[in-house]
């Protein structure tokens, strides 16, 4: 951890946005639109004077390269996950790195890649938002410039190894904190982590506020999928001035698994596209909600009004058990309600029973290597 540094942010003024689109005349249409490709995950915090212009360029660039996915643009930077052919994603990275706005900030290593393609997303969505990751706190109040200390995957691995060794003896002064949502950590997480039972990242600030005593005088090791939630999450935790120090995994689980596929992260990595998860090891740490057999492949709840994800194995699916809870299993959506244009609120046993912000009662024994 001694070699890690806290970035000072990029506040030297925003360069003009280049409207460059790559030359694809030398590329065949087949290569450009091939179903065999990659999904890229990336973000870049920087000052953007004209988010609307950056948004328009991003949309044109993705359409030009036949990419699908989601891109969020804000005055604080850009955050995206896009899928396309290997040729298209390679060209996308090249153009992004040549964009003056991102020069000397974004680098090749900032793009996390996994097998996939344009088919992993239903469409392309590019928009301007207040935050590039929705934490619900004004970026001017809690800035990415006040982030925690970044640890490389190797440094993080050593820290987790030491933490697990101390935790088994009940001597740890460290919390290994998962910044993701409950359905993400449910199918994969670091051994010995504290995984909040929250449904949205926008609940994370309230979770910290309600559990400040838990973090008092602790060293906190934070991680998330690609690193972006830790940027603002660590800044928020640091703003409370209760922790001894806050560290975060640079590049997130994605980069860690590239170097340590059989390391301390077990199970699958949840991703926000039609794949739902990618794997690096054979461990299955979750179970079918109906029969309890080991299972970690999500499906959407079969109740049309519900957006919950459900773990239901093929055997239970064949029995018609395809909803997230008994309420949804029995509920029938009325055609008249949909026709009337009403927005139906999600109501199910899952959301009703889960506290929006859980209060932790954690003892050293609960944070051992088996939990």
Which sequence positions are flagged as catalytic? 224
Name which of 141, 144, 149 is nearest 245 in CA terms.
Answer: 149
Beta strands in 15-119 (DSSP E): 37-45, 68-74, 77-85, 112-116
Distance CA 279, CA 281 (A): 6
**Measured on CA atoms in the order 59, 63, 67, 69, is the torsion positive or negative?**
positive
CA 157, 370, 301, 129 torsion-angle sign? negative
Q: Which position has the token pair 């973000």?
A: 43
214: three-class secondary structure by DSSP = helix
Beta strands in 144-217 (DSSP E): 149-151, 174-178, 188-190
- Nearest to 24, CA basis, from 102, 84, 109: 84
């Amino acid at each position: 951890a001694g070699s890690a540094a806290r970035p000072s942010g990029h506040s030297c003024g925003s360069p003009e946005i280049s409207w460059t689109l790559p030359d694809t005349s030398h590329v065949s249409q087949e290569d450009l639109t091939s179903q065999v490709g990659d999904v890229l995950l990336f973000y870049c915090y920087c000052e953007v004077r004209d988010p609307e212009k950056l948004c328009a360029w991003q949309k044109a660039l993705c359409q030009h390269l036949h990419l699908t996915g989601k891109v969020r643009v804000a005055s604080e930077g850009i955050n995206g996950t896009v899928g396309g052919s290997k040729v298209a994603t390679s060209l996308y990275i090249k153009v992004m790195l040549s964009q003056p706005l991102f020069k000397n900030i974004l680098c090749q290593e900032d793009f996390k890649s996994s097998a996939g393609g344009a088919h992993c997303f239903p469409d392309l969505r590019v928009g301007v938002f207040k935050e590039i990751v929705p934490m619900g706190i004004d970026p001017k109040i809690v800035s990415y410039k006040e982030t925690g200390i970044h640890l490389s995957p190797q440094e993080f691995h050593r820290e987790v190894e030491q933490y697990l060794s101390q935790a088994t003896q009940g001597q740890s002064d460290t919390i290994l904190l998962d910044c993701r949502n409950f359905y993400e950590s449910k199918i994969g997480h670091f051994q010995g982590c504290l995984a909040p039972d929250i449904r949205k990242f926008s609940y994370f600030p309230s979770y910290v506020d309600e559990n400040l005593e838990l973090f008092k005088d602790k060293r906190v090791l934070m991680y998330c999928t690609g690193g972006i939630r830790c940027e603002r999450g660590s800044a928020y935790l640091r703003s409370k001035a209760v922790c001894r120090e806050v560290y975060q995994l640079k590049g997130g689980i994605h980069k860690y698994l590239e170097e340590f596929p059989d390391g301390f992260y077990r199970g699958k990595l949840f991703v926000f596209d039609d794949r739902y998860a990618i794997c690096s090891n054979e461990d299955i740490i979750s179970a079918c909600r109906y029969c309890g057999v080991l299972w970690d492949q999500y499906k959407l709840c079969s109740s049309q009004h519900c957006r919950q994800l459900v773990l239901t194995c093929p055997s239970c699916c064949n029995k018609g058990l395809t909803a997230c809870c008994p309420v949804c299993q029995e509920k029938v959506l009325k055609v008249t309600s949909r026709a009337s244009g009403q927005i139906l609120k999600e109501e199910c046993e899952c959301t009703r029973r889960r506290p929006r912000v859980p209060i932790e009662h954690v003892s050293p024994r609960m944070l051992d290597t088996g939990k």
